Amino acid sequence: MDWTLTLIGLAAGVALAAFCGWRGARPADPKRGVRMVPYRFLMILCAAWVLIMLIHMLNLAGFSTGR
């Protein structure tokens, strides 16, 4: 992946993590039923994706982060 795709992936991950954090923090509404989407878990997955994209950006910049 080049810089453009990495930055798009990073922006998408941040936006999706923020959206899932907002939706997961809303109080439950028993009248509407049970929430079927695990927003908190999705937020953690998006945060992991953002971390991977940040590490990839460091690798593209020339820093060595592993073997």
Domain count, the chain: 1
Nearest to 2 by CA among 49, 67, 59, 65: 59
Q: Is 31 within the bounds of a domain?
A: no
Q: Is 43 within the bounds of a domain?
A: yes
Mean pLDDT by 10 residues, the chain (67 residues): 94 97 90 89 97 95 84
Whether the model pTM is above 0.95: no
Distance CA 60, CA 44 (A): 24
- The pLDDT score that the predictor gives to residue 32 is 87
Q: Is 66 within the bounds of a domain?
A: no
Q: Is 67 within the bounds of a domain?
A: no
Q: At what angle do helices 39-61 and 3-25 cross, to 10 degrees?
A: 160
Q: Is 9 within the bounds of a domain?
A: yes
Domain extent, residue 52, equals 3-26+36-61
